[in-house]
Amino acid sequence: MLSPRDRYTVLLELKRFRRIGNVRDPFVRISRILNNRYTASQISNYYRNYLNPELNLDDLNDDEKYFIDDWILYKTENGTIRWTSLIKDLRKRYGFLRSENMVKNYWYTKQKRSRNSVQRRGRLSTSSRRSSTFTIASTVIPVTTITLPFDPTALLTPPRHDDYTYQQQHNYLLPTLQCNFYPKEDKFLFNKFL
């Protein structure tokens, strides 16, 4: 979006503003310096996502992706994701500043992918039979679309407070089985050596 000369001007002016101290509306001033070819919000957005020298533009690693998933799962309020808070927490945890675009692109791409896979698996083949007075629509669910509780594509929300309430609401879930790893006493061998 910005030409190399404009990028240099933006970085130079921001550096000068930092030396001066607290400057009000730095991106508005830079917009005026660039003869209003770009709006202040365009310059601000470009700086936050591409020009900031502190940005790490490498791909997100798996730990960061898991952190983003967990953060969004447990810290969203009424479905609203506070991206700036997420980016600050990511930086505190891993020491890298990530652009807002990078984090959003990861999250929304993942959501779109999971939505598409659920739609592909959940397509129902419908057929209609004519009756004398009304139409009966029957749905046939293919055998391959069984969703088990441990399936990562299952759309169950995790328990918020206590497991008991969650299990009461989702009583079709099977309990986790605990294996007994203690060896059984073999009486035959034990008696043979005595």
> Helix and strand tally (H, E) in the chain?
8, 2
Which residue carries 């690693």 as its tokens?
Answer: 61
Is the Cβ–Cβ distance between 10 and 17 less than 8 Å?
no
What digits encode the pLDDT tens for the residues 99-119?
999 999 999 999 998 888 877
Q: For residue 157, give the amino acid letter.
A: T
Task: Residue 52: name the closest of 10, 6, 3 by CA.
Answer: 10
Which residue carries 């959940």 as its tokens?
Answer: 122
Coil, helix or strand at residue 175: coil
Distance CA 86, CA 63 (A): 14
What digits encode the pLDDT tens for the residues 25-60?
999 999 999 999 999 999 999 999 999 999 999 999
- The domain ranges of the chain are 4-51, 55-147
- List Cβ neighbours of 2 (8 Å cut-off, separation of 6 or more): 10, 38, 43, 46, 51
What digits encode the pLDDT tens for the residues 85-104?
999 999 999 998 999 999 99
> HSE of 173 in the Cβ direction (CA atoms, 13 Å)?
19
Global pTM reads: 0.56
